[in-house]
Structure formats: C-alpha cells, structure tokens
Structure 1
Amino acid sequence: MKDRTIQLFNRFIWSDYPLTLGELSEDFQLSNRTIRNEIKEINIFLNERKLPEIKTIRNRGMLLKLEQKERKLLEGYLDEKDEFDYLNREERIFDLILAFSLSEQPVFLYQKESEYQISKSTMDEDMRRVRTILLEYGLEVLSIPKQGIILKGSERTIRTMIYDVINQTIDSLRFLEGNEVGLSTSEKYLFRYIPKHILKKIDQVYHQTISAREDLYRNQLVMFTAIWLSRYLRQELIMNSSWEEVEPAQNKLQTFINQLCRILAVRPPSSEINYIIFMLETFNTGSISNSVEWVQAQLLSIQLIQFVEQTTKIPFSKKEESLHEGLYRHMAGLISRVKSEIHILNPLKETVKRYYGNIYFAIEKFAPTIEVITKNELSEDEMAFLTIHFSTSVSAINQELTYTYKAVVICNHGTATGRLLAEHLKELFNIDVLAVLSTGEMELIKKLDVDLIFSTLSLTYPEKPILVVDPIIKVESRKNIQEFLERNKQFKRLINNANDSTELFYTVLDLIKESGGMISSNIYQQLENTFDKNHLKINKRELQPMLKDVLKKSDILLLEKCPDWESAIQRVALPLLSENCIKESYVEAMIASVKEFGPYIVMGKHLALAHARPEDGVNRLGISVATLAEPVVFGNEENDPVKIIFCLAAVDSFSHLNIMKSLIELINDETKIERLASCNNVTDFEAILYEEALKETK
C-alpha cells in the first residue's frame, strides 16, 4: 500500500462524517478517478481482514464505520507503514521553498516528484506557483546541472523571504514545546531543515544572555537567528554589505551572538556578525536608547496617542505616561523592522481586531504618518501590536471611575472560575469584589463590608440583594447586571483617590504661577520634598518640565551664520556645552549619526532636532535653539532647507516628553516657524514660541 493510500485511509478511519470525492480530490490534488482506485485498494485490504468496507451514502459521500477496537487495530498497522505524510499543494510549496533555500544537499525536481508521489504535470504546477511567490521578493529559481535547484537574488532578501514564508505558513511558532503531538505537517517539515534541537539551543542562549521573560518577540528572534545560522553554514554569505564597516555596540545582542557561536563552534566573518546583530536589533524592545530613531519613535508615539484619543474618544491621556513608556519602546523596533521589510508575526491579530476594533481602525488611519518615516507599508500584524499597548490602558482607564460597588461572589465551580467572574465584574462595571466564596462559606458575608452578592447558582440571602449570573459574562448578561446595579444604586460608593496626589501637586504649581511666582527647578524639588514628608504619593514621571521651564534666554541664538549643517549642529550645541548640560562627545555623536544615517533629524518643514543617545554624553536635561540667517540644506528633500534647529539633551525616557509635545505643535505650524525664523530679538522669539501656552494660562 502506497504512502498516499495510507494517508487517504487515515482520513476515513478518523472521520465521523461522510467524505465527498470533491473534497478528497481537492485535499490530495488527485482526480476523482484516482481517488476511486485508491478506495478500491483500501476496501480490498479491509475485506481480506474481514473488517467493514468504505460505503457510499446516497447524496452525502463515503463513510467507514468502525468500532473503537477496529480503529486501534488499523492504526497500529498503518503506523508501521506510514513513513511520511502525503502533502497537499500548499505543504509541498512550503517544503520546496525550504528545500531550495535551507537543504544541505542538492535538490533535484525528479527526486521531489518521487518523494511526493505526484505526476510531472502536478510538479510543474507546483513550481509555477513557487516561482510566482519568489518573484514577489525579486528572486528567481534556476536549475543547474549537478547542482540542482538554486535561488538567484540578494542573500539578504533570501533570508528575509525564508523568515516571511515560515511566518505566513505556520500560524504560531511552537518549536520550543517539547511535545510533538498536534504539530502540523508544515511544522514537522520545518524541523527537517532547521532541527528542533538547534532552535532550543538558540533559545537557551537567549534565556541566558538577553531575557528569561516570555514574550511575543522571543520566538521570532530565535527563528530569525536559526535562519541566519542555516544560511551561513551553507556558506551562503552576505558579501561587501553595508554592515561590514559597522562596529556594533557592546550589548546583550552581541553577547547573545558571541556565546551562540562559541557553543556551536562556528566563526562567522565580521560582516555576518554585524548583519545579524543589526537585524535582531529590530526585534529588540528592551532599550530605546540603542536605536538612532528613538526621537522619531517618541514623536510618533505622542502623535499616535493624541490621534487615537481624538478618534475613539477614549481618554488615553489619563494613562499617557505608562502608555507612552511601552509604546515608544515598541515604536523604535517597529520603525527599524518596517524599514528593513522584516515581517513579524502577531498570533493575537484577529483577536485584537475583533475585541478592540475601534482602536485598531484608528491606528490604521494613522498608519500613513508612520509610513512617511518607514517608507514601507505597515502590516496588519504591526498595527495589532500597537493596538495591544492601547488595549492594556483601556482596562486601567475603565477601572478609574468615580464610584464603585462593594460585592462578594458566590461560586461552587472552583476558585479560578470565581476569580474570573470577579475580574470581569471589576473591569466591566467597576465592582469591587472583596471575596470569592462557596455556599459553605456564606456566613462570612456578615463579616465583610459588602452590599451586593453575585452568584453562579440559585440561592437566597434575605439580608442583601443578589443576582445569579454565568461565570463568564456574555453580552446578553451585561444588560441584566446593569439593571441590577441601577435598582441598587443607593449602594454606590465614591472611590477615595487620596493615594495619588499628582493632580494636587500640579494644582499647587498652578497656584504659584497664577500668583506671579516663577517655577524653578528648586521650587519643584522643595515641593516634592514637602509632599514626601506628608506621605502624599506623586507620580514623579508625570512631573515633567515644560519647554519654557527649560529653554532659557541664554539658550536662544538668533540669525546665526552657518555655512553647512555640521556647523549648525556645533553652533546650536554651544549653550548646552557652556552650561555643562552635555559633553563634547555628545556634539561629535550628533554629527556622526547624521553622517551615518542621513538627515533623519530634520523632523518637519524647515525644522531640525539635533540629538544623540543619552549615554553619548548628557549630564542633565537641556534644550537650545538657533535660527539661521541663511537656511541650510541637510539633505532632506521634503523638508529642506532648515531655518530653525533645536538641540535636545535627554537624560532618560520620560523627563522631556512635555518638551517633545511642544515641538510636535511647532512642527505642525509652518506659519509659526516662519515667524520665529525672522525674529531678531529673544523677547519676540519667546512671545511667539509660547503664545499658545500664554493664552491657556490667562
């Protein structure tokens, strides 16, 4: 019995419903006539062993009815015969692409034709589809005598193609799981070319050198590393690449690659090491400061939060600090990935779109703004990752209403089920569940400060209002709960927000300003100390100075004469150097970054923001600005020439966010930029720069 016949046999053994010729023909890519011949052979085999045959059920299909013991008997026999899976067309195409790109031995089509047990015409159609797929990546398939099938094209593109094809074919990368049960045929074939023990070894080194934390990026990073390693071991190298002269910083990724090479006893050339570190950096969300695009990421994050809030009417500004922290770290990796055309799989994409569709579609509308920076289209997977950051804040915002209900949950289905119900009640209705009890513990209710009871089973409790609900709150149940709360609204309690006094802190600052006082850094510090002494908790990440609090008159240079962009950066940095906000190394780093990565600091029409990484020589937060007597070309076709240049010295990821918001407003106001550029005295410059802020305080 052929392997193909065994696969067809297995379909009938484990199917509890009739199978039609049409669906079998499509699944196995065989004609109806061939399927009938295979079934005839199967029935001969069954008849010889006095077992039931495959019968035709009128207008429904064909069915093999077996007792459980008969199924086990057949399963044992077929396990001995079933040496490989018979692949459908999609699985064959997946295997062919991996074989051409990752196999250690030459691949010949006649061998694959025999292995798949398909006709030459079927193989020709498979290859036509393979060529179509690879053409999208700019790759060709060539057949070379004695060498077999090879791929023609950029090695960098081939590696990206392999990674993309694996992600598109396999829904979730489960290569780190020990159990082989439940693996798809494609996953099994993947391990023929990238052995599971290699993937596990890479993951172990990741665990030791980068992070023990599980996240959505880890499997992606491990898989890309495995593809890089496999192509290197085939001696398919990147030659004369732009990474060859890049000297990667000493970081966790470099440690990860160095240790992996030691363990596997391989010594790739420096161009390959630099390449893989650069590529893996696009998956790294651990430290934004490692990315040259960190300021772009921050600007985009602020703009995105503002846009999504305006579009969805959800007050994300309430959670802006915590949201921004995670969002901008993700944004830097996103920019780098999309620029490099690296697709990262998001297994939660469909779930995110279904449950947070309003946020997802708002992000989709904002996507063109990000694509201006990336020069490539943003994928649905990337938009879903951004949505996840916002959805986390939604739950937190929903729990910050001004009132709550005190309640207890009665559940006999187990503690986990009761807690699930309690969490749903808290998130959906802002109900504070003090305890999850069984019916045998109901005496404890008298000792708890609760007003309402939610139960998963019918019971009576005369002393307090009670509502019977399902453990999982469905859409139809929400109306009943809402009506129950409305009937008992006399039990609604105000939430005591005394734990966070950040708003009070700001109120005191506003009072000082309104009375004509100046808010200096000394006042900030004294007020913080006063709050601390009185045990008033404040979120110090939210206590960020405004642009006018940091930009002093001495930091404003007007109508400077600079012959080129390099001298413009040097000139605008002088006030910060004289104040010891930055070191000379910071100026050198700003210039080196533009030389290496281009005019990315030109953020808007006629406006540039010179900056480098905090670790390049920043002593404390500072900002300076210079207008140019003659506009300077930086090389940004869309926004040149530059008329105003700022210099930002940031010490961390949050203390300068209010400054960034002011710069975003300026970027979007070309008229204001023109007015500032023509100023010839500092007083007028300040009046124009801060005019919106002054209006708000009046």
Structure 2
Amino acid sequence: MKDRQLLIINELLDKENLSIDELSQALNVSSRTIRNDVDDINRTLSDLSITGISNKRGQLYFCLDLDARHSLSHSLKISSDTFLDPRERQLHIIISFLKAPHQVKIYEEQKRLNISKSTMDKDMRQVREFLAKYSLTLDTQQGAKIEGAERNIRTMIQQLIVENIDISQLTEKGSFEGSDSYQIVIDYLNPQVLKQTNKVAKELILGGRYEGVSAREAQISVLMAIWIRRLQEKQYLDDSQVSTLEIANTRIMKSVNNLLDNLELTVPENEKSYMTFILKTFLGEKEVRIDKWAESELLTLRLIDYMSDIEKINYRDSEQLYEQLNSHISAFLQRQENHIEVFNPLTEVLKNSYATIYQDISAFFKSRYSKNVSAGEKAFITVYFSTYYEESIKENNFYRIAVLCNYGEATGQLLAANISRNMNVEVVAVLGLQDINSLRKLNIDFVVKTINESTGMVPSFKMPPVPRKQDYQELKKFIAKADIKKHMLSLKQSPSVKKNLLKDTISLIESETRKNVSARLVDKLIEIFSEHHIEIKEREVRPMLQDLLTDDKIQIHITANNWCEAIEKTSQPLIKNKSINDDYVVAMEESVKKFGPYIVIGPGIALAHARPEDGVAKLDVSVASLAEPIEFGNKANDPVKIIFVLSAIDSYSHLNVLKAIVDLINKPNKIEELFNTGDKESFKKTLFGVEK
C-alpha cells in the first residue's frame, strides 16, 4: 500500500468518519485521488477478509467493532502514531533540522517517518519553498542545516508553529499533551521552558491593556520560548541587528533577566535588548520616537484615504479607526526598522473572510510603501478596517449582548461588529478574561465568547473570532433554545443645546480625570450626541485648516539660507500669536538633527513640528512659500518649496488640519502652483479650493 493509503486507514481508525474533501485538503491531492485510494484500500482489505471503507455522500467511515480494528492494525502493522500527514511531516522535518544541524540525514528522516523516497522528495521540495519565504536555504552537503539570518530563522519558527497548532492552548490547557503537531512543538520548545515563559507572560500582561487576552499571552510565551531555545543552542544575533534598539523599560528588562537567571543562561547584552524591545511592542508599551510619530500619522492618513477611495467606504469618518490604526502602525514602523516580524494566528481566516479588504491593504503597501510588509502585519491591519466595515450596517431590533474575547481588543471589536451585522444585537461591552466578573453587573441577554469559560448565570455561546455562516446558524439555534426575546429600539428626541457642549464636555472629562481625552473618545461623544439629536459644532473642537490659517500666518516667498532659518521664519507668526514659544522652535530643529529630515513629508513640502510639551500653548498652524527652494537632506523629496509649522496640543484636535496638509502630498501640481503664487489671496484660493 502507498503511504497515503496507510494514512487514510490510520485516520479512519482514529475517528468516526472523515469527508473526502477534508482528506483531499489535508493530503494535498484531488478528491478523485482519494476515491481511487479508497478503492485500492478496499480491494486489499477484501483479500484480508476485512470489511472495507464505506462511503456515504462523501463521508468515509469503517463499520468495524473494536476487535476488528485491532485486527486491521495488526494485519497492516500500523499504529495511531506511525504516520503523519504532509503538514505534520513538514513541521517534523524542519524541527529535526533545527534541533540537530548537520547531523540529520535526509534518508534517516525518511525511515523515521516511514514514507517512500518519492514522498520524501516531495516533502523536501515543500520544505525548501517554505524556507525560501524567509530568505532561508537548506544546506544538505553534510547533513541538513537551515542557513540564513538569525532573525529570519526565528521569524520562520514562529510562523511554522502558528500554522500548525492553536498556540492559545499552550496557556489555556495547563498541560502539554495533544495532537502530533502539538507534541512536536512541545518537545522542541521544552515543557519546562514553556512553563517559565508562561509565567513571565502572565506577569507582564497583568494590569496592562492585554490583561486577560490569552492569545496575546500565548504569543509572548511562544516568542520567549523560541528565543530561549535558540540561545541554548548559542545561535545569537549579530550586534548590527540590534544596534538601533532604544531600550528604556526597566520592568520588562527585569523580567527578561529573571527568566535568564532561572534558566541559568548567560547571553550577550544585545539579545536582552532584542527581547525587551519585542516585548514592548507586543505589550503596547512602546515609546514612539518623534520621527516615527510623524511617519506613523502620515502613513495612517494615507492608508485611510486610499482605502476610502478604493472601497468607496468613508473610513475617514472614524476617529476610532484612525487612533487604533495609528497606534498599530507606530509600533509596526519600529518593528520594521529592526527587522522584527509579528505572527498573527488569524491570518488565513482574515485573508479568506475579508479577502477584498486584505487585498486592498496589500495593494496599498505594494504601490505606496517602499518595504515588504508581512502577511501577519497586513492581517492585523485588516482587523481594524473590517471592524469599521462591519459597523457600517445597523439594524433596529436587537438583543443586548457582551462579547468575551481572548484574542485582544481589536479582534473582540471585529467579532462584535460582525455579530451586529448578522444578528440584530446591541453589543453592551467587549471584555477580556480579566473583566469576566463584570458580566453579572451588565444588563445583557447573553454572552458570545471565543473561549471555553463559564459565565455563571448569564447564558453564553462560543464562536470563533471570525464566524462563518454555519456559526450563525448554531447561534440562532442557541437563542431559540434559550428563548431569548428581542428588545425594541426607541429613540427619544432631545432638545438642541448650545454650540459649545462638546468642548465643555471634553473639558469636564479632562478636569475630572486629569487625563487628556483621546480621539476615540471625542468620536464617541460626537456619535452619542448625534444619536440623541443634539446639535454640536465639531469644528470648535477639531477645526479645519482654513479655520486656523488666517492671513497673518501666511507668508509668501520668504528668503532663507538654510532649513533651520526656514523653520524659524515660518514659526514667527505662531510665536507672535503666543501659540508657541522659542523652545518649540529649538525642539523642531533638534528633532531634525537627531532623526533626519523626516519632516519633509512629500515632494517639495515640509511639515515642521515637535511634541506638545516642548512649548505649545494652543493648536495653531502657519505656512510659508520659499523664495528659493531649500535642500533639507531628503533625497526623495527635496528641494522644499512650501513649509508648514504645526503646533498640536493633544491627540485629536489637529487631525483635520493634518489631513488637509497630507492631501497636498498627492497633488504635486498644487505644490508647484502654491510656490508660484505671488499674493495671499491667490495662495488661499489654491490651498483651500475656494476664496476664504
């Protein structure tokens, strides 16, 4: 019998039934091949006087009692752990090569896996193709060894593991037993090390934004376990690979040192910096550099504009989308600079469930971004856009529910929006495991959860984070069985109030909490006021460019000998207006000297800025055209002809101004027209599109 046929028998002895489609997909062959294999198997079994495989509407199964099953196993000399499917074999082969470089021979692996030479040759081709995705090669001159940059090897291991097992089981199950793939991973990472990294992951997450998110906990645990395994094998990064990391988090560094001490490992300092940096980005505790802050805001706005235009959906309206996406992209840019990739366990699900959004995001990065972006990063970004897409469809009759998600806030919001679109629900709360005790305090009908966790007296239903059609059918059955009734949405007309209500509300919140209000909260307040038919003046809180850029802040054809002088002269109207002080001008110049000409945001245009704490009194903007273009040191976008100076005071009020300036990047003709304009009225007409 062929290896594949033995595997089919083995699988059917293990399970009650399997569909032909499932086997076809698992074994990477056509449905016809599976049917032919079953015919061959049945002829062999008939010769042994054993009942063959039955096929009922594409479902395969054995009609054998326990004794007959043992007899079949004995006759064919197979057991439940003898054969692995192609995916499991690929995992086994790569892990074997990693565990003993230059020691494992291909023919030895073939014998160990109990497969034919042709099957092994096919497996090896697939292994090489998989490694090539990470710029890795396989040297088989003297035993097999995976070769390439250490960073790439670690990233490859992460993705290999995520593609083969549900890593959340590593923290949920509390024991290290499971399928063949699961056991291969556990053996490689070492159960004792995983227990240690699980403990560190829980401690780091406690009290942070990802507390109770078991998926993030598992990601961190696996990341550290892979790192430890490579360190134990003395596979270190080059100093050059971590030279740009900025490490300032003593809490994380202390946890890293404690882990190494517990495992009695002494490693180079650059390895400690590497892991501390990775943990910072996974925990959302990054300290964003001023140059990356600017680059992040611009890239976020460009991406939102692109997606709005290409998909004909107004993503620009959501400040929540902007804030969440900007936070992710700021961390993404720092990971890219340090050649660190993240892995996303939901990548394939998101690529299939939100194919158009994923493809459009991919097209944006391919055409508008100079570096390669991993599938995992694009999948994370897909979550944010998919959430807004799902929330764009609302219905009136509803159930009150809470979502309990262990994959993180963004995925929880996506699940909530998906359910809202399909099931007429009002999502009262999206919670992590740390909030589970809050359920009893909520006025809800039931809970949708992504994890097997008791919700006490509150009815609950488990769904995957990206539900399929059949999941909703099961949810409807659950609702019918539990006899849960819908509520009727009633809107009450509220009177109009004075125009500065929004600003007064924000001021009150900031006064009471002693914290700055986020763009997301401002967006939510506007939404709430709108739902209650309360008239507000949003432009008082988030003014447009033309609201701030008055004649006294526009300068035409100023002369400057260098970029420093250009910034200083463009800043003068803001100093005169007491919007900024001299310290802010110095801070802008120092940022360029430290981080390079990042303020040159597009061909011929610069946007000078610094942090609010560097000397900003109020939101404001000024602009100047230069008499002669000036080199700022940006090869791609020099020389600069138009320069803006922006003074931002918070995370939300400047966004409309920034959007208008960013819009100029895509209109080089407009930059040229502004540069050639000789008076303020013509300048304003060109900039704003109409006379002010």
Class of the TM-score when normalised by the shorter of the 2 chains? 0.5 to 0.7
Q: Secondary structure at the match of 1:544?
A: coil
1:140 equivalent to 2:137? Answer: yes
- 1:215-241 residue CA offsets vs partner (Å, 9 max, x unmatched): 765544443333333222221222231
1:609 Cα offset (Å): 2.0
Task: Please show how residues 516-555 of structure 1 align to structure 2 within 5 Å.
Answer: 543-551=541-549
Q: TM-score, normalised by structure 1?
A: 0.65
1:230 corresponds in structure 2 to 229
Counterpart-to-counterpart distance in 1, 2:589 and 2:91: 46
C-alpha contact (below 8 Å) 2:571/2:585 kept by paired residues: no
C-alpha contact (below 8 Å) 2:131/2:137 kept by paired residues: yes
1:631 corresponds in structure 2 to 629
Q: Secondary structure at the match of 2:63?
A: coil
1:364–1:587 Cα change, 3 Å: farther
Counterpart-to-counterpart distance in 2, 1:246 and 1:272: 11
Task: Please show how residues 268-667 of structure 1 align to structure 2 within 5 Å.
Answer: 268-280=267-279, 283=282, 285=284, 289=288, 292-309=291-308, 314=313, 316=315, 320-336=318-334, 340=339, 342=341, 344-347=343-346, 350=349, 354=353, 357=354, 361=356, 364-365=359-360, 367-371=362-366, 374-378=369-373, 382-394=377-389, 396-399=391-394, 424-426=423-425, 495-496=491-492, 498=494, 505=501, 543-551=541-549, 556=554, 558-565=556-563, 568-569=566-567, 572=570, 579=578, 581=580, 584=583, 587-588=586-587, 591-592=590-591, 596=595, 598-612=596-610, 621-667=619-665
C-alpha contact (below 8 Å) 2:497/2:535 kept by paired residues: yes
1:657 Cα offset (Å): 0.8
2:187 to 186, 189, 192: 192
1:86 to 83, 88, 93: 83
Counterpart-to-counterpart distance in 2, 1:406 and 1:381: 34
Counterpart-to-counterpart distance in 2, 1:502 and 1:204: 54
Counterpart-to-counterpart distance in 1, 2:545 and 2:249: 34
1:248 corresponds in structure 2 to 247
1:332 Cα offset (Å): 2.6
1:39–1:264 Cα change, 3 Å: farther
Q: Secondary structure at the match of 2:230?
A: helix
1:115 to 112, 131, 134: 112
2:157 to 154, 157, 162: 162
C-alpha contact (below 8 Å) 1:281/1:333 kept by paired residues: no
1:500–1:347 Cα change, 3 Å: farther
C-alpha contact (below 8 Å) 1:284/1:333 kept by paired residues: no
Matched residue type, 1:648: L
- 1:126-165 residue CA offsets vs partner (Å, 9 max, x unmatched): 33443343344333322465xx433332222222332333
1:517 corresponds in structure 2 to none
1:258 Cα offset (Å): 4.5
1:82–1:606 Cα change, 3 Å: same
Counterpart-to-counterpart distance in 1, 2:275 and 2:105: 30
1:90–1:389 Cα change, 3 Å: closer
C-alpha contact (below 8 Å) 1:9/1:42 kept by paired residues: no
1:685 Cα offset (Å): 7.6
C-alpha contact (below 8 Å) 2:55/2:61 kept by paired residues: no
1:177 corresponds in structure 2 to 172
- 1:235-283 residue CA offsets vs partner (Å, 9 max, x unmatched): 1222231522544233765555445445444443232233334455554
Counterpart-to-counterpart distance in 1, 2:399 and 2:87: 54
Q: Secondary structure at the match of 2:152?
A: helix
C-alpha contact (below 8 Å) 1:541/1:654 kept by paired residues: no
1:68–1:132 Cα change, 3 Å: closer
1:152 to 147, 152, 156: 147
Q: Secondary structure at the match of 1:138?
A: coil
1:95 corresponds in structure 2 to 92
Counterpart-to-counterpart distance in 1, 2:575 and 2:82: 69
1:207 equivalent to 2:202? Answer: yes
Q: Secondary structure at the match of 2:627?
A: strand
Count of residue correspondences: 587
1:76–1:108 Cα change, 3 Å: closer
Counterpart-to-counterpart distance in 2, 1:202 and 1:541: 49
1:658 Cα offset (Å): 1.5
What is the RMSD of the two structures over their aligned residues, measured on CA atoms?
5.7
1:687 equivalent to 2:680? Answer: no
Task: Please show how residues 6-155 of structure 1 align to structure 2 within 5 Å.
Answer: 10-14=10-14, 16=16, 53-55=50-52, 64-67=62-65, 84-103=81-100, 106-119=103-116, 122-143=119-140, 148-155=143-150
Q: Secondary structure at the match of 2:341?
A: coil
1:495–1:264 Cα change, 3 Å: same
Counterpart-to-counterpart distance in 2, 1:573 and 1:196: 60
- 1:7-35 residue CA offsets vs partner (Å, 9 max, x unmatched): 77643434556999xx79x9599999999
Matched residue type, 1:232: L
Matched residue type, 2:186: F
Counterpart-to-counterpart distance in 2, 1:202 and 1:505: 50
Q: Secondary structure at the match of 1:241?
A: helix
C-alpha contact (below 8 Å) 1:582/1:620 kept by paired residues: no
Matched residue type, 1:97: I
1:301 Cα offset (Å): 3.3
Counterpart-to-counterpart distance in 2, 1:500 and 1:170: 56
- 1:186-228 residue CA offsets vs partner (Å, 9 max, x unmatched): 2321222112443443343233234314176554444333333
Matched residue type, 1:496: K
Q: Which structure has the greater CA radius of gyration?
A: 1
1:660 Cα offset (Å): 0.9
- 1:656-690 residue CA offsets vs partner (Å, 9 max, x unmatched): 11211221233233333234334566x44863476
1:367 Cα offset (Å): 4.5
C-alpha contact (below 8 Å) 2:420/2:426 kept by paired residues: no
Counterpart-to-counterpart distance in 2, 1:572 and 1:251: 40
Counterpart-to-counterpart distance in 2, 1:353 and 1:67: 40
C-alpha contact (below 8 Å) 1:609/1:648 kept by paired residues: yes
Gaps of 5+ in 2: 402-418, 428-442, 447-471, 481-485, 505-524
1:328 Cα offset (Å): 1.9
Counterpart-to-counterpart distance in 2, 1:184 and 1:539: 59
1:626–1:314 Cα change, 3 Å: closer
| Identity across matched positions, percent | 27
1:670 corresponds in structure 2 to 668
Matched residue type, 1:330: H
Q: Secondary structure at the match of 1:176?
A: helix
Counterpart-to-counterpart distance in 2, 1:162 and 1:471: 36
Q: Secondary structure at the match of 1:627?
A: strand
Q: Secondary structure at the match of 1:603?
A: strand
1:297 Cα offset (Å): 3.0
C-alpha contact (below 8 Å) 2:584/2:614 kept by paired residues: yes
1:131–1:680 Cα change, 3 Å: same
C-alpha contact (below 8 Å) 1:554/1:575 kept by paired residues: yes
Matched residue type, 2:249: Q
Q: Secondary structure at the match of 2:628?
A: strand
Q: TM-score, normalised by structure 2?
A: 0.66
